[in-house]
Structure 1
């Protein structure tokens, strides 16, 4: 039993424990996170996202009408408030398998304060309270900070490589590139996830005997050896800066990571971590 007298392994019991971790993360970030219900709040979310992605007309990550529909039908729409206004938001919807999963569609926030971590822990607590066991989302495999956040900070793991998943995208961050994504899966009760959410995540060491399958040399991708059980797949230092400055090199990185990492996942290998040097750790079975 937990302190409230609820079985620790019940949805409410797990949700209570997860809520405590979320509340601690929110205090550290200096924000209050809550579900959103009002049209004026949804308008703030759209404005926040427009400022982050700098979208062209008609290409916003989400619109007010969809936010209204999601919230009205019981899906996940939350916001983080601090500094006198909205500084982060997250939107998700129920996914297959029915009654067990949530897909986190879009999350955006101010950087460098732990707001994103607080939002994800709020989302986890929300899901556990409703008896859900897994949350999934997609992210660009070339963005190192997102890979570190998802794999190391949260304990999620990529399960599929999705080529050109969203088609052409018209925002300032993704314009001119193909929208390849990794499907990250977050098993909410996994001991690895539990440790990460309690703040016990540690930098990942490079396994002994690991072979570099893709490296960065002078800013460009360099193919290595694929002969090994544990492979390291490198990423560019800053793909978001590279795209407008050197589109050809950005495309080379996209195709190299697609071929190497995507090919490994297609063959049944598993990503088991992300190093401080920007490499995916991939294990063959």
Structure 2
């Protein structure tokens, strides 16, 4: 019997044919890998990293105050973070010397150093607010002295101490209040921040042993000739350290001087152009600092200029 297709029905599908294979493509050649591009952030950080490395390298030789040089051309107080230029050290040593010459206690030196640090950063300035000048920014118009006088560190330190000893209770009073009573500054609290620094520096300048103040000096600093240096040394010693004597070989000796005077000489070594300092079995040179030399037990402080 022949079957008749039913209306509306689709014929049965044909048998499925196998799917045609896709055409083979040749294997892709490997593309050379390009180096990864740096991001803009990476490019920006590159110079910063370099700067950071350079700063880390020079950090031990940098100081806070306006381009202070390395320890090789400056002074430090061992065991503390106090570091000053040779100019600052010399001025601090002069202030301490004036206090010693007046028989004032160490507290006077501390107060004076903190005051000078705040007023001038221990530099003998030839400018200031209105007519203020010198280490303590004293004003000639206010009766401190002439312009030349207030720019003389010995004179200006003496004038500060004249005012200091007139302040009631200055020996035990709060440093910034005592300093303000002398200076009458527009920033009366500013002196207090320098007390730790001034205490450490004063202790080094008044110490009775070597190496309390470690200083170096730039080669060739100071006056050019030995005669000129001798004149500078003898005049400064006469005013700040004691009676000087110039020996036949050009060495300047200071009889009766002790370790504070020897440290004074170290602080001024660059200004004087000293090549060596000898004191009680010790010798100081700009390159090596203090070294024990038992063969040279000489009590007079001796300053060598050649």
Q: Same fold (TM over 0.5)?
A: no
Normalised TM-score (structure 2): 0.26
Q: Which has the higher strand share?
A: 1
* Higher helix proportion (structure 1 or 2): 2
The structure that has the greater radius of gyration is: 2
